[in-house]
Amino acid sequence: MILLGVNVDHVATIRQARYRDETSNHGGFIEPDPASLAWLAEEAGADGITMHIREDRRHVQLEDVQRYQEKMKTRLNLEVSLATEMVELALSLKPESVCLVPENRKEVTTEGGLDIISNMERSRDAVRAFTNAGIPTSMFIDPDKKQLEASAEIGSPWVELHTGSFARAWYDEKRREEELNTLKEGMNFGLSLGLRINAGHGINYHNVTGAKELNQVYEFNIGHSIISRSVTYGLTEAVKTMRRLLND
């Protein structure tokens, strides 16, 4: 069975569009509240919750994570950059897992995988710090053999393959198959290195039929599409439908 991690960052994005100058969410009374929606996603069948605290705090705030942890029912996958202060913040929050991601201040959302090769020492130090704290680390990378090898070399037990190129190619049959084959090759190569393979970015209710062909992926982390569907059908339906589509 492929697990579903629900990313609630875009709940915070909606809130910050109105309340970006607020220093506190006042226990969830400023809406929408990412923690409350994370609990609801868990009740609907999410296997885990992903939150990304960015250096610029453009969506998820520290208080969101802390509130969610107070009553969480599954597990927290915390996304942070390699910046020293963000690694230290993640260590202080003691999530069940950490995913290290790239950050570009000009991007709307994460645009590609982390370049571990260009950041070997920082990546190795971060993985070592999380490992010593008993926190498994995942590297958010493109399905590139050199990046997979680098992930294994620095001691990261997991990777999350960036599926954005596949998602963008979905309506071009030739490119779609090329990107899917690249992901399959990356998945199989990562497994041969002893890595656990997660995946995510741009997966929606249409392209999930192709994405689930990556049947050795342990968990997909999906956010934008689920939150978007919830506007029409409610979060419970959105989570249940995506979980069913992943495993039909």
Does 79 qualify as catalytic in the annotation? yes
Does 107 qualify as catalytic in the annotation? no
Bridge partners (DSSP) listed for residue 4: 220
173 contact partners, CB below 8 Å, separation of at least 6: none
Choosing from 10, 42, 59, 79, which is the catalytic residue?
Answer: 79
Per-residue tokens: 44: 């609907």
26 contact partners, CB below 8 Å, separation of at least 6: none
CA nearest neighbour of 130 among 157, 105, 111: 157
Helix axes 224-233, 235-247, angle to 10 degrees: 130
CA dihedral 62, 67, 70, 74 (to 10 degrees): -80
Instruction: Give alpha helix (H) positions in the chain.
Output: 9-19, 34-43, 62-71, 84-93, 120-132, 145-153, 164-168, 173-192, 208-211, 224-233, 235-247
Choosing from 160, 162, 201, 219, which is the catalytic residue?
Answer: 201
Choosing from 10, 42, 52, 219, which is the catalytic residue?
Answer: 52
Distance CA 183, CA 142 (A): 9
Per-residue tokens: 74: 């599954």
Does 31 qualify as catalytic in the annotation? no
Catalytic residues: 52, 79, 201
